[in-house]
């Protein structure tokens, strides 16, 4: 099993990257507090491909975060 990182540590280590966390911890409002990094990188599709090909036994819960400025094309709250 990999290292647990807080969301603050994720933002510091992976600047302007997509990060997929496995078994994330969340607060009551489902804000991500931390988790184990399953995959990360600049390309969204590549990161999710790596996560799916990780070999980790399923089922598992994941969360994804983008650690940079939110791209204009991403609409939140849908």
Which has the minimum average pLDDT: 2-6, 24-28, 59-63, 72-76?
72-76
> pLDDT tens for residues 45-69?
999 999 989 888 777 899 999 999 8
Stated pTM of the model: 0.82
Residue pLDDT, tens place only, 15-36: 999 999 999 999 999 999 999 9
59 upstream amide cis, omega within 30 of 0: yes
10 Å CB burial of residue 52 (0-12, 13-18, 19+) is: middle
């Amino acid at each position: 099993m990999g290292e647990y990182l807080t969301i603050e540590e994720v933002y510091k280590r992976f600047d302007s990257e997509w990060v997929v966390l496995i078994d994330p911890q969340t607060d009551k409002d489902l804000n991500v507090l931390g988790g184990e990094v399953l995959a990360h990188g600049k390309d969204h599709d590549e990161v999710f491909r790596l996560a799916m090909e990780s070999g980790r036994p399923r089922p598992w819960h994941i969360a994804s975060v983008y650690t940079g400025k939110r791209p204009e094309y991403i609409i939140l709250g849908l």
